Amino acid sequence: MTTAIYPGSFDPITNGHLDILKSGSEIFDKVIIAVSYNIEKKGFLSVEKRVELIKESIEDLKNVEVDSFEGLTVDYARKRGTHILLRGLRTSSDFEYELQLSQTNNYLSKDIKTVFLITKPEYNFISSSMVKEILSNKGDIEAFVPKPVYQYLKTNYDV
């Protein structure tokens, strides 16, 4: 059984993240989408809320587990008994960052492999930070995030 971990901030999860997750769930027997606690980044939503919204957004995906973790991704992967990480790529600027991250992870843990999936063109420009920026200016984010995320943000952030 092949399990992949899809780590990230998911603050909040977007339709772009979901696209990568769905494709990953067709390739691997199981995907664990894992929200990382990042001491460097002060979150917009709490990690617990992000996990809850992901769970509500993926009810149709049966081989996906939602979790959160603190510390290094490679340590979390080892704890979960896998050496495969899943990440999404949008633009060449993503590539520069992901290359560095993947090589660092591989240096930290020799058997770690990162699998990259390229997003569909219609999700290319979607990012959590863009969603937050639009939200803070009272713009419409409905097309960019899963329904449960939209409903939560609409109710709590007066969209």
Q: What are the catalytic residues?
A: 17, 41, 90, 128
Binding part of the chain for ligand ADP, among 25-33, 51-59, 87-95, 131-139 by CB under 6 A, reads 87-95
Amino acid at 113: K
Question: Could you give the strand order of the β-sheet that contains 64-69, starting from the edge strand earlier in sequence?
Answer: 64-69, 30-36, 3-8, 84-89, 113-118
CB of 79 to ligand ADP, least distance (A): 18
- Using CB under 6 A as the binding rule, whether residue 128 contacts ligand ADP is answered as yes
Stretch that binds ligand ADP, among 49-57, 59-67, 84-92, 151-159 (CB under 6 A): 84-92
Please report how close the Cβ of residue 148 comes to ligand ADP at its closest, in angstroms: 17
Q: Is 126 in the site for ligand ADP (CB under 6 A)?
A: yes
Instruction: Collect all residues with Cβ–Cβ distance below 8 Å to 87 and sequence separation of at least 6.
Output: 6, 7, 8, 20, 98, 101, 102, 114, 115, 116, 117
